[in-house]
Chain A
Amino acid sequence: MNKSIVAIATLALFVAAWEQGTGDDEAKPYSSRYQPMASGATLLTGATVLTGTGERLEGADVLISDGKIQAVGEDLDAGDATVIDASGRWVTPGVIDVHSHLGVYASPGTESHSDGNEATSPNTAEVWAEHSVWPHDPGFVTALAGGVTSMQILPGSANLFGGRSVTLKNVPGRNVQDMKFPGAPYGLKMACGENPKRVYGSRSQAPGTRMGNVAGYRTAWIQAADYKKKMEAAEGGKGEPPMRDLQLETLAGVLSGEILIHNHCYRGDEMSVMLDIAKEFGYKITAFHHAVEAYKIADLLEESGTCAAMWADWWGFKMEAYDGIRENAALVDLAGACAIIHSDSAVGIQRLNQETAKVIGAAARVGIDIQPEHAIQWITSNAAKALGIDADTGTLEAGKMADVVIWSGSPFSVYTRADQVFIDGALAYDRFDDSVNPVTDFSLGTAAATGGAQ
């Protein structure tokens, strides 16, 4: 057999594994089979619009057709579009959560639904979160009611390398392929600190310390670099390609820049070490998640172009979370780094706008003025950037996917609700019309399905 054909075929597989699929080649295994729901043209009129680009427009219209944002501005021509009066209401891009375990830790939280942590080895870069996602998790629907249109589902943090993440559109699907965000890059979950060393140390297995964690990352990257080198050599006609290895394939994908690193890490000093590991092996950390002490190293995050995805106020529940402060995201933002508010919670994901409001309030207390048009970026465009989907969604710019929320008022008021949510231009949720709203198979017959009528 011709060696170069084998090499090319192997390379093709390798590349196929990096992308979640564009939707145009449905034959590719595991690729996205997402199809937007049918939608007509819609014109939202007279709203306070936060574009996600840092702008705020008063009394503005948003024109949606063919599933895309067509225009944002004043007095747009409706044409044959359905007009929705959004005066007195606020319109924003769909909310994006970069850190969710919906589907992999589904409700109800039974032992049988515990599919998020392959806690059987400190390096499980070979597992893919999408192979655990249960599309009938009722949490997808409650997140939708909170304006969430896209999210990244991550494996848990028991392992140094937890496995691949998957980015989903928040649409009901029969399977995860129906939900996969077309063309989104994969992520790789890494975890610092207490979790890996506790899980494996308690089994008298490495890693049992933070230094053991770091040795574990470095050892894996050395192997990945070697695998990548051999693959590339075979591609160039030099030698046989090594046998395909799922774990090394994912790690090599990171070194090639195709797979994005999402690194669970709390402490500033540990994030600093992780940045050095990335430097040693020539990869980029796209985002630190939780990043409870990001405010202590905000300048380093700015320099490295690494986002920090943070809670508003979770703190203290473990030692590495003891220094959490509500101003964390504001201080990261102030340093010019990329700030994101994330949930890591099936409850929190329903109210990322409220979590953002807490940071706005805390910042105001020390004289840092954060306007709504700026803060909305923490849960829309900055999140899209961290997921590598910012060319497609995250702002209300012409040509982007029409992932849009109409809020009853300012999204940063506790009294505000998402009135309507559009995904790719289709009405996916309507607070006033239960017939519009999805009901998971699981929720049939419960209060969630009937609006409470029994």
Chain B
Amino acid sequence: MKSRRVLIGFTTFILLAVSSVGSAQSTAIVGGTAVTMGPQGTVENATIVIDNGQFISVTADGAVPDGATVIDASGKIVTPGLFTPIGSLGLVEVGFSAGPLDQLQRGEEFTASFDIADAYNPRSTLIAVNRIEGVTRAVIVPSPGFPDESGSSGSVLAGLAAMVNLGGGDDSVERRSVAMMVSLGQGGSGLAGGSRAGAILELRAALDEAQSYGDDPGEREDYKLSLSDLDALQGVLNGDVPIYVNVNRASDISVLIDLVDEYGLNAIIVGGSEAWMVAGDLAAAGIPVVLAPQDILPGSFDRINARRESAAMLADAGVTIAFADGQSQTYNARNITQSAGNAVAYGLSRDDALRAITIAPAEIFSVADRVGSIEVGKEADVVIWPADPLELTSYPEQVYIKGNAVEMTSRQTLLRDRYLQTDSDKPPAYRR
């Protein structure tokens, strides 16, 4: 018995070491150009002091506290960690013909209450690949359980999203229920009998039922939704949990704006190809848009008026924007810098583009009190870049998550290093 206890103790120690939680020693990143994305703006020759996982001070030419580990960032750019606002990181390993897709819930008993946080695998190989490129936070989301041969008809309500850090430890789920996934427009039509009007009807019916349940849980026993779904929808009704709506067509967005107003909900749009056409209404309603600036083709009749300048037009109208490339939001979540750069090429200010991949998504998911900028008191997610972070030839020199220096390796760098050893007389499997 005794030896087993020792073994357990040892295992715990290893796990703690790997998950890199907490850091006793303080760190000072000095000499860099800190693009804080906070009220301090850009601080030249910044001294950024980090202790206990948080930013302690950010000062120009500031002094380094005794005993701090000093990281020289002279001539480099220091930004907050990047924040990807949607995807399946930690929910899928290989997507096709290769095992479970944990982002996908089949069956109809639990939809609104399906909580994706319980499926998150912080040690997924996808995490490190994206982490070493500067992505430190992600909102992970359930996917709509599309109709299939099993008889599942799917639901316009796909469940609850979560915000995670990409540190790789057991403490990675930072906040549950940051949003409720909803499909409207063309995506919703297939889940609601064939029409987008049916998708709205299904959403209304769920909200009405949840309202009735919330007013008096004992009043009736014939709820169509499960009790757990009705519970989950209370947060939506009181505005704590925004609905995160996949929708592109301008007319669908207008319907959404009215519905949100009627029920007093908070909402976030993802997709938003035609959002620019109703930008003023979105700004007035305070509805942010997560968009893919490169997706300018009319991929469907919901996106017939997609255009290059969407990001700039929405920002100009006062809409908060974040980026998610529709093609690569999971395996290549790191490519949010490419989205940001392309948005700049078509009119968005560089500052707004950087906001859109750092502080803006933190604000959208109501976690900006903790992350998204280099500000005293916030969790110290920070990236040191030798050159412009939006350039695709750039790469982080070092990434920190909650004050801890991330090991700058991934399965991909290991593969790379193995096959770079072309002069080795050993077969690849013997190369390390």
A binding-site residues for B, Cβ under 8 Å:
107-110, 138-139, 142, 194, 198, 295-296, 299, 313-319, 322-327, 331, 335, 345-348, 350-351, 354, 357-358, 360-362, 364-366, 412-417, 442-443, 446-448, 452, 454
Contact = CB atoms under 8 A, between A and B. Distances in A.
Contact of A107 (B95, B298, B305, B419): B298
A346 B297 contact: yes
Q: Please classify how large the interface on chain B is, using the bins under 10, 10 to 19, 20 to 34, 35 or more.
A: 35 or more
B12 interface: no
Contacts of B297: 107, 138-139, 142, 346-347
Contacts of A316: 93-95, 125-126, 331
Contact of A318 (B94, B328, B392): B94
A340 B420 CA distance: 19
Interface of B: 93-98, 125-126, 129, 276-277, 294-301, 303-307, 309, 327-328, 331-332, 335, 337-338, 341-342, 344-345, 390-395, 412-413, 415-417, 419-420, 422, 428
A448 B420 contact: no
A454 B412 contact: no
A299 B98 CA distance: 30
A13 B219 CA distance: 81
A194 B97 contact: yes
Contacts of B97: 194, 198, 318-319
B296 A365 contact: no
B328 to A, nearest CB: 8
A-side binding surface: helix, strand, loop or mixed? Answer: loop
Closest 4 CB pairs of A and B: A414-B341, A361-B393, A318-B96, A357-B392
Contacts of B413: 325
B428 A326 contact: no
A335 B420 CA distance: 10
B213 to A, nearest CB: 40
Given A107-B297, A357-B392, A365-B395, A446 B304 contact: yes
29 contacts: A107-B299, A109-B299, A109-B300, A142-B296, A194-B97, A316-B95, A316-B126, A317-B94, A319-B94, A324-B412, A326-B412, A350-B294, A357-B391, A361-B391, A361-B393, A364-B395, A365-B395, A366-B416, A412-B392, A412-B393, A414-B337, A414-B391, A442-B298, A446-B298, A447-B307, A448-B298, A448-B305, A452-B305, A454-B277
Given A319-B94, A358-B392, A351 B428 contact: no
Given A107-B297, A414-B338, A319 B98 contact: yes
Given A108-B304, A414-B345, A362 B94 contact: no
Given A347-B294, A364-B393, A414-B341, A296 B419 contact: yes
A346 B419 CA distance: 31
B300 A110 contact: yes
A142 B97 CA distance: 32
Contacts of B328: 313-314
